[in-house]
Structure 1
């Protein structure tokens, strides 16, 4: 059974950040929509160099298990094929499911790429720049 996408989505690019603004709760159908849009942006960003995905969450962070599975599959592909080197989620305590979903997202990204949580979008950029700097440093050490 398929459903209409639940939640809202907008994607913006501030290289090296691919920022997905989402209002949940969300379902697999919204992740399918996100995947289509995000992959198009990721392919363009790959030509510029390594980048970091950021999810800015509003309303609710809760989602279905099949949505999480597709999100992880997409993240694995972005890391393996499209130059993603990390992922961050931005959500404050006013977002429903904030405390519960932090651990869920940590497990989802475990073994895929570095992942961090932030309360504010402006705090992501220094973390992302450190990731990118470490990547450049490890490349030059080889």
Structure 2
């Protein structure tokens, strides 16, 4: 018996940490792009929950081949303390199972997102460290065009 593929999974469905996660990340697959909607501010615990939810979601999908990408739309705030960005970096650097790593990641972060300009260099550094193409865009259309050009 195969497990049904969830259409959307959220960090709110994961109880993986001792402390309460701050922030929320929902994810779903759409046209070969793993979409994230991340509402901050964030703490390290939400990134731990995100890693669990993401792995559960990706391994529940029917096997797929080919290139895929991810887009994260940030809402409300991009702010997170130093230990949270350090945890995000560790998670992003950890090995991924075959076919479960995107070829590119875009963040959609409009000017209304609190702390966007402060956090942008931190996120850019994470993706430079893992050598994954990364771009911060102000619109979903821009992000989609960019990731599809790399798929």
Question: Which bin holds the TM-score, normalised by the shorter protein?
Answer: 0.7 to 0.9
1:70 matched to 2:87? The reply is yes
Partner secondary structure for residue 58 of structure 2 = helix
Partner secondary structure for residue 37 of structure 1 = helix
**1:22-80 alpha-carbon deviations (Å, 9 max, x no partner):** 11101111111111111223333762332212211111101122322332233334767
Q: How does 1:50-89 map to 2 (within 5 A)?
A: 50-77=67-94, 81=98, 82-89=100-107
> Which segments of 5 or more consecutive residues in structure 1 lack a partner in the other structure?
133-142
Distance in structure 2 (CA, Å) of the matches to 1:78 and 1:45: 21
2:46 to 9, 22, 30: 30
What corresponds to 2:11 in structure 1?
A: none
Q: How does 1:1-142 map to 2 (within 5 A)?
A: 2-43=18-59, 44=61, 47-77=64-94, 81=98, 82-112=100-130, 113-132=132-151
Q: How many residues align?
A: 132
Q: Please, what TM-score do these two structures have when normalized by structure 1?
A: 0.80
Q: CA deviation at 1:126?
A: 1.4
Q: Please, what TM-score do these two structures have when normalized by structure 2?
A: 0.76
**Contact 1:42 1:78 survives alignment (8 Å):** no
What corresponds to 1:136 in structure 2?
A: none
Measured at CA, do residues 60 and 53 of structure 1 come closer, stay the same or move farther in structure 2, by a change above 3 Å? same
Q: Which has the higher helix share?
A: 1
Distance in structure 1 (CA, Å) of the matches to 2:138 and 2:116: 10
